[in-house]
Amino acid sequence: MRVDHLAYQRATHVVGFGFALQAAFGTVLLVIGLSMGDSASVIASLWAMISLVVWAGLLIVSNQHRLERLEALETSELMETAGDTALFEDGRGLGARRLRLLYRWILPLMSVAFAAGLVIAGWRIIHFLMSTASGASEAVFRMTDHRGWMVAIELSFAVVSFIFSRYLAGMAQLPAWKNLRAAAGIMVGNSIVFMAIAVGVVFRFFDLTHVVQGVAWGVAIFMFAVAVEVVLAFILNMYRPRVAGEYPRVAFDSRALSLLSRPDSFIRSINEAVNYQFGFDISSSWGYQLVLRSGVWLGGLSIVSLLVMSMFVVVGGRQEGLRLRSGRIIGEGDAAVQRPGAFWKLPWPLEYATLHDVTEIRTVPVTPAEAAVAPAESGKLPYDNWAKPLPLVKGAEDAQFIVRPSEMGETAATQLDKELEAAGLDVTTDGRWSLIRARITLGWRVDTDGAGGESGLLQYLSFGSDRRARRQPLDDRSRILRAIASSEATRLFSTRSLDDILTTGRGELGAALQSAVQDRLDELDSGIEVVSVDLPLVTPPGDVVQSFEDLPVAIQQADRTVANAEREQTNMLTAAVGDPRFVDEVVTAVEAVEAARLAAESASGNDAAAAESALADAVSHAETLVRRGGGAAFQIIADAERDRWVGLLTRLGQATRVRGQEAAWSAAPELFRQRSVMRLYARYLPRMRKYVMGVDPTRLDLNVELRELASPNTVFSDSLMGENEGEE
């Protein structure tokens, strides 16, 4: 082929047509997406619109190649006329310099702009899709109801793009049109994006709407992949050596998309790889050719076999099945549910079957669940106590519920209210509530019996969907169950006191909550059977846990003190009364004596005699009981009586002895006195030396020294007698 301005002019026309076609694709999809409310069409139009940068670059470079060839033609004609005279100092004209400038600066910048546009568009698409999955955003992935029109438009655009890409790939085989490889790659990209959107819309006929959203994610990832390839090509072009006189391959010329624009190259690559592995030309053998010729029939047979196999469905013993046609259940009531066994249906995609395990017990964390905790060094999990509960997933906090106050606190509050009312103050009792922390887990399964004559499986499927939004750990049905269980738990706890929740009613709390949740689900015809409601942890809030732990200790200590006091009381009363059978009677009798004594003290006049008589009777009755018991009190009374009689008899003996000495005193008083004195000396000073002198003391002059007798601890230890002179 002659490479002149006519060749590049043709390339310019083709690129201009491709630019117009690409703009038409993007505009039509954008208008349809905005007018009909279809987010997938808008996403597909982003790829088409951004790809206009590539077409614009190819249009500019193709036209500049045409101008450069015209300038070269004119230069050659002038040189033939003027002789061998250089028209330009560097041997290149203005068109050639502009073409070099395009390849050096303009096309690389346009490649960077193309990659940046793809990255921004892909990021915006992903952000939009994540916003639609988040409940906090109002973004919605819209889908038009004109599914047939959308499939027709997308498929038409995909077919036109693929045919035009094949045409451009054929032209790119010639050196003058090698830049058209980038255009062919863009058209293949159009075909891929449009075909994927069309497939997603086709799945909407079977009520599989999530496929379109998955395609949107795929388009965003596809944009990122093309952008990465363009950036890598741009970087490698800066270091790749160039041959003089050749123009470099532009960065937005995707190698992967260019390869897809020529699918026949895959067959040649496979043949070459097979020949290389076997070491000879196996692709020319009869067996290989037979496989190639019969491959279509074998593929068709495989497809038919798969379709026949899709008509036969086996339902397991723990399952129930449904036949669906275009998303609609075949049959009504129990006839629509396929019991364990086998059944036939139309081949896919006309009909398909869904199997559901109706015996599996599933769990739903009503409150935030516990995080996985590694076992301690002893191999056991850490103890989950009130003060240090196990951590929850994602650092969540325990759910708190409102309960009625403790009965002990209610008693104190009632007394306080009475005191406030007595003081003339207003009393408000509406705000008396307490808080508790609780962890609740709901276990459930499909109720195969159902209610109202309808199958439980159909009620279960109508109650909610298995759809799980992005970044949501639970599907829609589980979230509904969690909301219902949380509501019933709040209602149940609000009717129980704090003592009932934490102590007396703790054992039957799960059964009561299970019954309440089951009743609510039966009202909604949910087709769900609540198997269990577990409450592994029910505690007061964390900042008052220590107070709750100290209370039973204080109560136990108080009970122990009371028990010790009662034991001491029993011991003392038993020791005092003697016989334990008379303890209560004696205490009552003593109280009666005290009451009678107070009455006697306050009585006057005629009542005094009656009060004294009653006091005497009470004392007599009490003494009788004390004597019958024979305890310490009786011993004290007996000792007192004995001591009184001993004293009386002692005084009586002294009086009798004195009266017996009266005659001796009368007969010889002086002798009686001396004898009595000597008797006292003998009694109280038995070990001291005594001297009896028969001389009249007035006639004696004695000098006695008692120093040797001044022994310690005697009455004379502190005295020393000197001279005692007497008169004769």
For the record, the structure tokens of 9 come out as 């002019």
Of the candidates 132, 102, 110, which has an alpha carbon nearest to the alpha carbon of residue 40?
132
Tell me the percentage of the chain whose pLDDT exceeds 70. Answer: 81
| Alpha-helix runs per DSSP H in 134-179 | 147-171
Torsion of CA 313, 316, 318, 323, to 10 degrees: 10
pLDDT tens for each residue of 384-421: 566 667 767 776 777 888 888 776 655 655 666 666 67
pTM for this entry: 0.51
Q: Is 209 helix (H, G, I), strand (E, B) or coil?
A: coil
Burial class (CB in 10 A: 0-12, 13-18, 19+), 656: exposed
In this prediction, residue 111 carries a pLDDT of 93
Please state whether 111 falls in left (phi above 0), alpha (psi between -120 and 50) or beta.
Answer: alpha
Residue with tokens 């470099």, as numbered in its chain = 248
Cis peptide before 473 (omega within 30 of 0): no
| CA distance linking residue 551 with residue 318, whole number of Å | 51
Taking the C-alpha atoms of residue 73 and residue 66, their distance in angstroms, rounded to an integer, is 11
Q: Where are the domains of the chain?
A: 5-77+91-262, 265-304, 364-370+395-420+431-540, 559-641
CA angle, 54 as apex, 53 and 60 as ends, to 5°? 90
Q: Which of 90-99, 144-153, 253-262, 522-531 has the lowest mean pLDDT?
A: 90-99
Average pLDDT, integer, range 230-255: 84
Has residue 720 got a pLDDT over 50?
no
pLDDT at 718: 45
* Contact indicator for 4, 37 with CB cutoff of 8 Å: no
Q: How much of the chain is helix, strand and coil, in % rounded to 5?
A: 65, 10, 30
Per the CB < 8 A criterion, the answer to whether 244 and 253 are in contact is no
Cβ atoms within 10 Å of 705's Cβ, excluding its own: 11
The string of DSSP codes covering 217-262 is HHHHHHHHHHHHHHHHHHHHHHHS---TT-PPPPTTS-HHHHHHT-
What is the second-level CATH architecture of the domain 364-370+395-420+431-540?
Answer: 2-Layer Sandwich (3.30)
Q: Is 219 exposed, middle or buried (0-12, 13-18, 19+ CB in 10 A)?
A: buried
Q: Determine the pLDDT at residue 31.
A: 93
DSSP 8-class letter at 541: -
Long-range Cβ contacts of 99-103 (<8 Å, 24+ apart):
99/61, 99/64, 99/65, 99/68, 99/247, 102/60, 102/61, 102/64, 103/61, 103/247, 103/248, 103/250
Residues in a beta bridge with 180: none
* Residue-level pLDDT at 29: 93
Q: What value does the mean pLDDT of the chain take?
A: 80
Please choose, from the candidates 459, 211, 523, the residue with its C-alpha nearest in 3D space to the C-alpha of residue 322.
459
User: What's the pLDDT score for residue 721?
Assistant: 40
The pLDDT of residue 502 is 81
Q: CA-CA distance, 118 to 546, in Å (whole number)?
A: 60
- How far is Cα 426 from Cα 713, in angstroms, rounded to an integer? 82
Looking at residue 387, its pLDDT comes to: 67
State the Cα–Cα distance between residues 414 and 19, nearest whole angstrom: 87
| Residues linked to residue 312 through DSSP beta bridges, in sequence order | 344
CA dist 555 to 405, 524, 548, 550, 551, Å? 18, 47, 11, 9, 6
d(CA 677, CA 718) in angstroms, rounded, equals 24
pLDDT of 568: 86
Q: Which of 567, 380, 364 shows the shortest CA–CA distance to 476?
A: 364
Select the more confidently predicted residue: 605 or 572. Answer: 572
- The answer, yes or no, to whether residue 460 has pLDDT greater than 60, is yes
Please write the tens of the pLDDT for every residue from 19-51. 999 999 999 999 999 988 899 999 999 999 999
For the stretch 164-209, pLDDT in tens is 998 998 888 888 888 899 999 999 999 999 999 999 998 888 777 8
Query: 143 and 209 in contact (C-beta within 8 Å)?
Result: yes
Q: Would you call 309 helix, strand, or coil by DSSP?
A: helix
Confidence of residue 335 (pLDDT cuts 50, 70, 90): confident
Q: Cα(133)–Cα(151) distance, rounded to whole angstroms?
A: 25
Band of pLDDT at residue 554, cut at 50, 70 and 90 = confident
Q: At what angle do helices 52-82 and 94-101 cross, to 10 degrees?
A: 150
- pLDDT band of residue 266 (cuts 50, 70, 90) is low
Nearest to 188 by CA among 157, 211, 217: 157
